[in-house]
Structure 1
């Protein structure tokens, strides 16, 4: 009998941690699996802009604050018995929102505030299930602290299990779930997991409820929190959150707004929690600080454009590694600053607020304050504050800052005169001078972090003034950044990191400006529009306006209509001070604002002879415009002998492969031309890749016998649909 009695506590000591670890692991897995899942579900409704993910993250982080606040108030003012009843009731209500889907009747309004519409869509579609999950991390840790299990007085170790579950879910979505299953099957599996979570919550709550001795203990904190503590927690949570979103946005501009691009930085963000929220020592403090300094310097060079306008895979790797090191250091500092268990829920609440402020800065404040993607550089500058030593050994912080600013100013002057006297004016050369003088200043100030910070800040600000600003326009919208500038004899328009159109400056006085770049008279798209088939077309639709270059292929008597999701693009294209294609050639042709697929779906009586899909902005792939359902819609909007034209020039993806699969599935004729351009003779004649789809060979007219157009067929892989699409499978 004695053996049985002594073994009972031992079994409880083993079982209790298992129950709580399993509960928090499952909850965290569901929490972070639903983020890319629901974003994928709604992409056909709101488009594939990188800003969509940033806004989605703002939503998730804001709801996380609500969940943490709910857990904080619940644990402060309500007995454990009632906590369990209330939380199970919230979980039960969330079941009515399953399976996850776009609410019936919801429709995107292109004239309304896009960020607000996105937030509302997420709120109605996934708000309550996500709220129920978001409260679990602090609530379950609190319950464990009341359970009497091993290490109940310091339950922060459960946060590591929570983030491990989050990490598994995030990697599992793009690498396993998305390539193997469609969104509907994934959503059903998620709903089953959410339903099963109720049983785990019940077991965890009953375990906390069952400890009568602990139930009688006071919940009052042993000490009061200070403003400095709370500010430090929020700041250390803000830096990695904002930096994660900045890195994600920059990569998304080039690689595409896809779940994998979103998931990798977020997964590394969570991994840093797993690595730091424990008592194991990662690195020596000096090595850790210098690694963080180097990472911040590397990030600043990339965000400032020193490594080039477009990201190489090497730059992408540096971005991710630099972010990981900085986030690791920030969360290491955060764990060191944690309070005792009586302030556990306040600690997590403050962390969530800091993280949400990062999302607010990147998705709302940044686009208002900055004309370009400068949030990353701003956050890097702020991140240097983490390295500041408040005890400067005989010199006050204000004195140290002034000293550093003076030295930084002197270094900037040296860089300026070096660039000017040597006749150097290129962007990269100026940055090189600044970087060299910055390294010198850093070496001199290495023992005084405050001075080092002030010197670097002055150098960065000086650099922004020293680099010549040749832009005629630099602005941004919800869908990306926009730039109009002149280079040599050309005026160019850049969206993100890709040039989407150009006009010769001399054509400002010409009757009809000459289309250039992808739309040059030798290009495949020009071949279609100037062919016998194109010339006899009565109606032409263009999805993706750019600067309106194709408009100057319009023939007298033809009806042309344009589709553009971004109002700012339409404003730029129609402003003759920038580009004259629309005003000179198609000023009376309307632009339908909004997601082209949504707009076309409402135009049931429209029939085009030629429909051009030119919506692949900055190498991203709007998957919802490339699926089988999308192509069916396009064909339905074509005349029986109409031609569908896809412009698919891309540095990273072979988009012809899913197009060929869909064409084969629908019994369509598919042709492709890889045009290599002739930029040595004419800088406006660049390479492009174009695919045409038609119901018959005869519909192509004289193009059917053009040897430059090669027939393409499906590769036997799975057809892309709204439910299933795998971008990883078409990486070059």
Structure 2
């Protein structure tokens, strides 16, 4: 007797079992991604590229899992499928609980991306592989179960993505704020063990004779253009998700909360689109997607200004969501019948992985900035263009309108040299809007017109960059404006020098390091002048070096070799050349380097590694502060530069100071840009073992006590970034 002959009540249990199995599997699969990334952050640092590279690993293993499921269902009998897959699951149990492999060490001089991939492979590779195969495998088994809708099991993919969505949101919003990493990994291990029982029950249900003929029927031959279309439609949302995540991470921080929001929306689009229900009429959906793509292109191209406001963050996330919805809806409509289910998912996974490969490996090699985002948006525009029977005249007409739209802006640059870039941008946008109106009846022409305007902007808008480059750790820009030479990382200025100081004996530190600011106050105080050994975590352009006194021993710690190269190049900045001499720069993540060193007995140790407006949590935990104090002289001063638009970093510092019995001070300096444009507002904090260690700073009224807000102390095991949002 097979399933279809069983009572109705028994048959109704079948979809419940399979939904529960695929929901649990997907929850474990997507919970482990931010969880393991959080585990390794103290070891490999908090660069946004860590998450991009981790996503490449997960997407690549997903291909392996889907290929394994495809081959298993094509060439192995159902009973053997169950035995083999349970064997893979049982082997993965040996990796529990998940942790960094014993003896693994990060080499700061080695290839960063490759080491990150190897770490994830060694730590979570087999468990993730076992989980990644479950979505197509469980759907195939359901097709053999005789349950309701067994001939079209794609509905289970919605349940799978719903489980993924719940897990992704649950990690930063519930698990991370309430529990430590060790407790979270233990709970995940329990779920993974329980999954074995669900897999066993589902596999047994698939062993009946129902649909045996269908399961082993020779599927129809797939056409190459089908495979290309599936891969393309999977590539666009994957690449765009990573571009949006990288853009936001540069300013907000490389932490699970920032990572999982775009990824959660990515999964939600599968839930909403892999269904027979229509999201919205095509006559509205298509124009909305086109407008969103234009807006995304403006932001990614920097035409809306360099600063990342919360409004822009919202538009990036919402815009990505709309584009992913359109791509995945189109993908669902192009799905094959159930006989090609595993091939469909395998091709989808390849397309998604190509997005990860493009963003994490290819783009950093090809582009000096985050230009992969704009490239992906342009490629996404092809989704809206019916390519069949497109006339050459239509394309030429679109290109003509696009170039004509850019002509007024170009004329301004020739007639009025030095025209304000904002004015040029407005002229370009207005011209592009007119070109779009004129070509709106022909989608292919409109696409070419917009691409032409975008391409022309690269020649019209002035580029003041002396250097534009990128590394594994971020983007780097050196530019000149109004007599100043600036260094930017992400969207934040991290140092500058007056061009006139190219010939000065000692360049004047500017911006956060201005002589009026709190960082300078520490260095120029009596305690600062008497200090013999000074360590600085975070090199920047070396501004602080020009507060060095004769006979002092200065040492720097910097994770990015490109930053050191820029700081030591006298064509750009002279702080290191003029003031630091041969002061050593220790390359690598500061925690890793300091942990390997003998106590340095620094009289002043400066922590100035808060790149852009992100927060490297692993440099702010209680364990990190204890490590810094180990390298501090008994009467030394630990100084934190904590200027930030989004986070109140003084809060976790105050908690740790209270927990460790340290004396904390902080200063919010308002700056004085009216008198000197390079005298910026800044925030700094100090920690010492005693009041006496502060010296003359202890009586300076500008420095106020650092308070404990009563929230939990940040540790490597448990740190809640949401708790310090301003």
TM interval, shorter chain, is: over 0.9
The SS at the match of 1:333 is helix
2:241–2:262 contact (8 Å) kept in structure 1: yes
Deviations 1:194-222 (CA, angstroms, capped at 9, x unpaired): 0000000000000001x224335552344
1:221–1:343 contact (8 Å) kept in structure 2: no
Q: Is 1:728 paired with 2:722?
A: yes
- Trace 1:258-657 onto structure 2 (pairs within 5 A): 258-391=255-388, 396-418=390-412, 420-421=414-415, 425-657=419-651
Give unmatched runs, 5+ long, in structure 1: none
How far apart are the structure 1 equivalents of 2:589 and 2:606? 15
Q: Which moved more, 1:529-538 or 1:128-137?
A: 529-538
1:515–1:552 contact (8 Å) kept in structure 2: yes
Deviations 1:204-247 (CA, angstroms, capped at 9, x unpaired): 000001x2243355523442110111000000000000000000
The SS at the match of 1:651 is coil
Cα offset, 1:105, TM superposition: 1.2
How far apart are the structure 1 equivalents of 2:7 and 2:407? 72
Residue in structure 2 matched with residue 43 of structure 1 by the alignment: 41
Cα offset, 1:443, TM superposition: 1.1
Q: Is 1:694 paired with 2:688?
A: yes
Residue in structure 1 matched with residue 26 of structure 2 by the alignment: 28
How far apart are the structure 2 equivalents of 1:108 and 1:504? 38
How far apart are the structure 2 equivalents of 1:12 and 1:248? 45
The SS at the match of 1:518 is helix
Residue in structure 1 matched with residue 97 of structure 2 by the alignment: 99
Q: Which moved more, 1:604-613 or 1:266-275?
A: 604-613
Change in CA separation of 1:106 and 1:665 when aligned onto 2, cut-off 3 Å: same
Residue in structure 2 matched with residue 255 of structure 1 by the alignment: 252
Cα offset, 1:422, TM superposition: 6.2
How far apart are the structure 2 equivalents of 1:253 and 1:502? 20
TM-score scaled by length of structure 1: 0.97
How far apart are the structure 2 equivalents of 1:88 and 1:429? 64
The SS at the match of 1:146 is helix
- Trace 1:67-216 onto structure 2 (pairs within 5 A): 67-209=65-207, 211-216=208-213
Residue in structure 2 matched with residue 232 of structure 1 by the alignment: 229
The SS at the match of 2:604 is strand
The SS at the match of 1:22 is helix
Task: Report how many residues are paired.
Answer: 724
How far apart are the structure 1 equivalents of 2:213 and 2:229? 33
The SS at the match of 1:619 is coil
The SS at the match of 1:245 is helix
Q: Is 1:60 paired with 2:54?
A: no
Instruction: Provide the aligned C-alpha RMSD in A.
Output: 1.3
Cα offset, 1:11, TM superposition: 1.9
Deviations 1:316-359 (CA, angstroms, capped at 9, x unpaired): 11111111000000000000000000000000000000000001
2:557–2:588 contact (8 Å) kept in structure 1: yes
2:22–2:134 contact (8 Å) kept in structure 1: yes
How far apart are the structure 2 equivalents of 1:75 and 1:595? 45
Q: Which moved more, 1:431-440 or 1:468-477?
A: 431-440
Residue in structure 1 matched with residue 708 of structure 2 by the alignment: 714
The SS at the match of 2:612 is helix
How far apart are the structure 2 equivalents of 1:722 and 1:55? 22
How far apart are the structure 2 equivalents of 1:360 and 1:398? 33
Change in CA separation of 1:699 and 1:363 when aligned onto 2, cut-off 3 Å: same
Residue in structure 2 matched with residue 680 of structure 1 by the alignment: 674
Cα offset, 1:719, TM superposition: 0.3
How far apart are the structure 2 equivalents of 1:202 and 1:398? 58
Deviations 1:393-440 (CA, angstroms, capped at 9, x unpaired): xxx343322221122122222332255446672322222212111111
TM-score scaled by length of structure 2: 0.98
How far apart are the structure 2 equivalents of 1:200 and 1:697? 61
Give unmatched runs, 5+ long, in structure 2: none
The SS at the match of 1:499 is strand
How far apart are the structure 1 equivalents of 2:290 and 2:210? 49
How far apart are the structure 2 equivalents of 1:360 and 1:262? 17
The SS at the match of 1:500 is strand
Residue in structure 1 matched with residue 665 of structure 2 by the alignment: 671
2:4–2:147 contact (8 Å) kept in structure 1: no
1:390–1:397 contact (8 Å) kept in structure 2: no
How far apart are the structure 2 equivalents of 1:217 and 1:466? 60
How far apart are the structure 1 equivalents of 2:254 and 2:4? 57
How far apart are the structure 1 equivalents of 2:210 and 2:704? 79
Cα offset, 1:633, TM superposition: 0.5
The SS at the match of 1:321 is helix
How far apart are the structure 2 equivalents of 1:418 and 1:711? 54
Cα offset, 1:310, TM superposition: 1.1
Deviations 1:546-571 (CA, angstroms, capped at 9, x unpaired): 00000011111111000000000000
Residue in structure 2 matched with residue 10 of structure 1 by the alignment: 8
Residue in structure 2 matched with residue 704 of structure 1 by the alignment: 698
How far apart are the structure 2 equivalents of 1:418 and 1:667? 63
1:419–1:429 contact (8 Å) kept in structure 2: no
Change in CA separation of 1:414 and 1:532 when aligned onto 2, cut-off 3 Å: closer
Q: Which moved more, 1:134-143 or 1:305-314?
A: 305-314
